[in-house]
Amino acid sequence: MATIRERNKRLILKTACQVFADKGFAATKTSDIADKAGLPKANIYYYFKSKEALYRAVLESIIEPLLQAYTPFHREQEPARALEAYIKAKLRISREHADASKVFAHEIMHGAPHLSPQSLAQLKDEAEASVARIRQWIEEGRMAPVDPQHLMFTIWASTQTYADFDWQILQITGRKKLAAKDYDAAARLITDMVLKGCEVSPCEA
């Protein structure tokens, strides 16, 4: 059941996520968040200890989805399937968690000063595991000998860009908002490019 406490906390978190994504941590005023949420500023402080605590809560909310996205590297036996599923998962995050994703990007760009060491360690572990998996596939001759680290950098960048640089993408596409078919087009292009680059044949449907 949704207590008042839970409902308000959720409203504040959601609003804060939008504002932090839009302006960044330092440029965001707690009054911006309060106004947008339709609450007095003091109410924010009743539910969250400080602006920074609120920011950290937003930031940590994206960690679980990001970690989840790596599962194809653990489960899938086929390089093509794993890469395709990973790209799809990352694009889904850019779409469904666009704001939190942007907050995360902002954080990483500046050296992750607010991210907890635990989250950082988990993300690093998953990243390294995926690189190791790709390296293994290459040794087994199941994909072309691309540089596994740079491959991951390219996948991260090209999927993340749909959250981070959404404004730019809307400018160029002339859209007001990206729709399902835009994300599909992105998925097709990125997947196609990666699979051809790795010289693995795409899997059926």
> Which stretches of the chain bind its own copies, using CB under 8 A?
22-27, 102, 105-106, 108-112, 124, 127-128, 131, 146-147, 149-154, 156-158, 160-162, 164-165, 167-169, 171-173, 185-186, 188-190, 192-194, 196-197
Measured distance CA(2)–CA(31) in Å, rounded: 25
Least Å distance, CB 9 to its own copies, is 26
Structure tokens at 185: 């087009």
Ramachandran category for residue 115: left, alpha or beta (phi over 0 → left; psi -120 to 50 → alpha): beta
User: How many CB atoms lie under 10 A from the CB of residue 120?
Assistant: 13
| Closer residue to its own copies, CB minimum distance, 25 or 48 | 25
One of 1, 2, 42, 205 touching DNA (CB under 7 A):
42
What, of its own copies, DNA, none, does residue 112 touch, CB below 5 to 8 Å by kind?
its own copies
One of 22, 24, 36, 41 touching DNA (CB under 7 A):
41
Question: Nearest CA to 101 among 75, 143, 64, 147?
Answer: 64
| Closer residue to DNA, CB minimum distance, 30 or 61 | 30
Measured distance CA(1)–CA(6) in Å, rounded: 9
| Closer residue to its own copies, CB minimum distance, 53 or 121 | 121
One of 15, 16, 17, 51 touching DNA (CB under 7 A):
51
Site for DNA, residues 116 to 145, rule: CB under 7 A: none
Stretch of 29-37, 76-84, 128-136, 186-194 lying at the interface with DNA (CB under 7 A): 29-37
Stretch of 47-55, 89-97, 164-172, 175-183 lying at the interface with DNA (CB under 7 A): 47-55
CA distances to 83, 90, 133, 197 from 124, rounded to whole Å, are 18, 16, 14, 24
Per CB under 7 A, 202 contacts DNA: no
For the chain, what is the radius of gyration of the CA atoms?
Answer: 19
Residue indicated by tokens 């072309």: 144
Residue-wise over 36-53: b if at least 16 C-beta within 10 A, else e? bbebeeeebeebbeebee
Residues in contact with DNA by the rule CB under 7 A: 3-5, 8, 28-31, 39-43, 45-46, 49-52
